[in-house]
Amino acid sequence: MSEPVLEAAGLVKSYGRVDALRGTDFELRAGEILAVVGDNGAGKSTLIRCLSGAEAPDAGTITFDGKPAAFRDVQQAKRAGIETVYQNLAVSPALDIASNLFLGREIRRRGPLGSALRMLDTGAMRRRAREQVSRLGIETLQDITQAVETLSGGQRQAVAVARAAAFGSKVVILDEPMAALGVRESRQVTDLMKRLRDDGMPIVLISHDMPSVFDLADRVHIQRLGRRAAVVSPATHTMEQAVAIMTGAAAA
Question: What is the tens place of the pLDDT at every residue in 67-86?
Answer: 999 898 999 998 899 998 88
Distances (CA, A) of 176 to 34, 37, 42, 45, 222: 13, 10, 15, 11, 15
* Cβ atoms of residues 238 and 226 within 8 Å: no
Antiparallel, parallel or unpaired: β 171-175 and 203-206:
parallel
- Quote the distance between the C-alpha of residue 19 and its chain's center: 24
Percent with pLDDT over 70 in the chain: 98
pLDDT in tens, 156-174: 888 888 888 877 679 999 9
Distances (CA, A) of 236 to 30, 142, 218, 220: 20, 40, 11, 11
* Cβ atoms of residues 203 and 221 within 8 Å: no
Q: What is the pLDDT of residue 180?
A: 67
Residues (pLDDT < 50) of the chain are: none
Q: What is the pLDDT of residue 213?
A: 94
Bridge partners, residue 173, by sequence: 84, 204
pTM of the model: 0.86
Q: What is the pLDDT of residue 152?
A: 85
Q: What is the pLDDT of residue 183?
A: 77
Q: What is the pLDDT of residue 221?
A: 98
